[in-house]
Structure 1
Amino acid sequence: MLFQDNQRVVFIGDSITDCGRRDLYAPFGNGYLSLVRAFVTARQPDTRLTWLNHGISGDTVRDLSARWEQDVVEARPDWLSVMIGINDIWRAFEDQPDQAVPIDEYESTLRALLTRAVEATGCRLILADPYLIEPDRNEPQRAETDRYGKVVASLATEFDAVHVACQEAFDRVLVSSDASDWAEDRIHPNLPGHAVLADAFLNAIETVPSAGE
């Protein structure tokens, strides 16, 4: 696994990352991040890591930009995990087009934020796709989500980041299940849905060698 002793691992994103980390489920939330932390700890009990959850429900890349210095740069991560984009997309489908983030702005803003983080802290990146738990790839919101996911995949290559293919992970389970098995609203996962995300994260990070290997 890629993490080394005494590293700081910072996660930032929207409600999927937040998951109550600021109230009932402080400090890690009760979602995929907590599951990833638990399994990494179990598999590497001799590796002491500091985990920080900086997800905030409702965020888009615009919101991340406003808090990037405090929540990322000042946190001094060794590893930074970013999952953002769901709100950027769906608000265009929920009669809030002024709050949706067009794909060009999404890409340029995310690239600038990642560049700032790497240049300021020297961190390595984990980039997770936005997703929609919807099997019909021609459904308009799903099709748009796939476009934004391609942006994340491209940025992962550009920044030599670990890429977590969240949409692909849900597509795999949707072959033999219904979307409602994983989330009531196609977006906010139940516990099995968060396990799908956590499994995708673990598979991604376990295939990356740590420094020196």
Structure 2
Amino acid sequence: MRVVLRFLQIFLITIPMLAMRQDKPVRVIFFGDSITQAGVGPTGYITKVGEMLKASGKDSQYELIGAGIGGNKVYDLYLRLEDDVLSKKPDVVFIYVGINDVWHKSSSGTGTDADKYVKFYEALIKKMKAQNIRVIVCTPTVIGERNDNSNAQDGDLNQYSKLIREISSRNNVELLDLRKAFGDYLAKNNPENKEKGILTSDRVHLTEAGNKFLAEKMLEALVK
């Protein structure tokens, strides 16, 4: 009888704990640069992901956290990984970095060489996977919206996007190919071949339409 009572006690304690664990929302961190920093604003892409989740009745299932800092490159993310990501115990992390690694090569001479970009990026993934975090890597988007491959940094962006695709395959992590998604969209929606004003306000940072488009892609990757 005592054994039965003890079993019932354990059962009654365990069931509520399991229920609480199952009801805990999925913690998602968006890790990146100024595009992600702006993502938590009123019309930012992270805010819009939250609105889309709410519209589908799933907002209680996810906790969204922005961890973007303007000007960041991949090694900046590595330096703040512990404080801004790992300490928060996320379930999912989107890594979205690369624009400044490419852009700053020409603007200030402080970009990131391809080999260093790969090393820091894979070090980020290794540390996250060690904590059983679901990692989703994103290719960099655009520095200029011309759709004929005539933007000044298109060559580097294509190269670094290729590196991200290879990193995804080599490290067995999910890929969100934003470079391709933005390119496909602009091919259809930029008939005048404008440099900006479709998805970006200044060739890089997003318009409200750009934030909405990015949010849709992020959400598709998150809930698939």
Query: Do these two structures clear the TM 0.5 threshold for a shared fold by scoring above it?
Result: yes
Q: Does 1:124 align with 2:141?
A: no
What is the aligned partner in structure 2 of residue 211 from structure 1? none
What is the aligned partner in structure 1 of residue 177 from structure 2? 165
Q: How many pairs align?
A: 195
Structure whose residues are more often helix by fraction: 2
Q: Does 1:103 align with 2:114?
A: yes
Alpha carbons 1:134, 1:186 under 8 Å: kept: no
Q: Does 1:149 align with 2:168?
A: no
SS at match of 1:181: coil
Alpha carbons 2:39, 2:46 under 8 Å: kept: no
Give the whole-Å Cα distance in 2 for the aligned partners of 1:183 and 1:130: 14
Q: RMSD over aligned Cα, in angstroms?
A: 2.0
| Residue type of the alignment partner of 2:141 | Y
Measured against aligned partners, the alpha-carbon deviations of 1:172-193 in whole angstroms (never above 9, x if no partner) come to 2212324422223211111001
SS at match of 2:135: strand
**Where does structure 1 differ by over 4 angstroms across 4 or more consecutive aligned residues?**
none
Q: Does 1:112 align with 2:123?
A: yes
**TM-aligned CA distance change 1:203 to 1:48, over 3 Å:** closer
**Cα displacement (A) at 1:163:** 1.7
**Cα displacement (A) at 1:157:** 2.2
1:187 to 204, 211, 215: 204
TM-score relative to the length of structure 1: 0.83
Q: Structure 1: 5+ residue runs without aligned partners?
A: 209-213
Give the whole-Å Cα distance in 1 for the aligned partners of 2:55 and 2:102: 36
Q: Structure 2: 5+ residue runs without aligned partners?
A: 1-22
Percent sequence identity over matched residues?
27
| Residue type of the alignment partner of 1:173 | Y
**Cα displacement (A) at 1:89:** 0.4
Give the whole-Å Cα distance in 1 for the aligned partners of 2:59 and 2:202: 39
**TM-aligned CA distance change 1:154 to 1:78, over 3 Å:** same
**Cα displacement (A) at 1:20:** 6.8
TM-score relative to the length of structure 2: 0.79
Give the whole-Å Cα distance in 2 for the aligned partners of 1:76 and 1:46: 19
Alpha carbons 1:165, 1:200 under 8 Å: kept: no
Give the whole-Å Cα distance in 2 for the aligned partners of 1:93 and 1:8: 36
Moved more, 9-18 or 195-204: 195-204
**Cα displacement (A) at 1:151:** 1.4
SS at match of 2:82: helix
* Map 1:30-49 → 2, pairs under 5 A: 30-45=43-58, 47-49=60-62
